[in-house]
Amino acid sequence: MSEMSYRTALVTGASSGLGRGLALWLGKRGVKVYAAARRLPRLEALAQEGKSLGATIEPVELDVSLADATLARVRELDEACGGLDLVVANAGVGFPTHARNFPWEDARKVIDVNVTGAVATLSAVLPRMVERNRGHLVGVSSLASCRGLPQNAAYSASKAFLDTFLESLRVDLHGTGVRVTCIRPGFVKTEITAGIQHPMPFLLEADPAVDRMGQAILRGDDVYGFPWPMARAVGMARWVPNALFDAVASKVL
């Protein structure tokens, strides 16, 4: 599927950060983008910016933590536009969840958005994509999914769920015209990382990160992690014995 094959796209979490950047990136390439998030004024400002760049971006007020409402709204959009070609589940939240003082309410928010919300977004029109024999599902995971990071049990686990969910979809859809891509960013300068106090190796600016994500989508990569030094290091960490990993990771934060 080439750039011109995408007529329509839905991007969640589009009011800021990577989602906002990706909505503009796609819009500038001729894709009609439904930009979804809770903060409608920000989406309206995004639509105006897109218009000045020749992009068509439609604001969609949406809270993905409300799964049933998300399913219904995404299906409405699919019907209104004659079929979504690309669905990007980008909306995500992250809060510290230290096991020694575990904050259930924060953990639940992470699960509601990063797990339940992502699955609702991706599965809403999946049967229709299969019937049409075309479409592309993209989930924005994280390199934090590869192992359980200290003080981030809920976040790391939520992204690990998304990784595995997308992999199973990809296997089931093999041989069809529906593609699945899992994107695993490392540290990127966004609102989410603005408050992080610990070191963030290989920190990327948002614009180059968005471009890498967009190119991976257009290539139809199965899995794309970046930046590559961080992705390689995290990949190697999978093979580190637990005793060593626990001893080192517990002292990182």
34 belongs to the catalytic site: no
List 6, 34, 155, 224, catalytic entry: 155
End-to-end Cα, the chain, rounded Å = 42
Smallest CA-to-CA distance from 155 within 99, 216, 232 is with 99
Give CA–CA dist 83/105, Å, rounded. Answer: 36
- By CB atoms closer than 10 A (0-12, 13-18, 19+), residue 52 is exposed
Give CA–CA dist 16/23, Å, rounded. Answer: 10
The token pair that represents 125 in the structure block: 């029109």
Are 5 and 82 in contact by the 8 Å Cβ rule? The answer is no
Annotated catalytic residues are 155
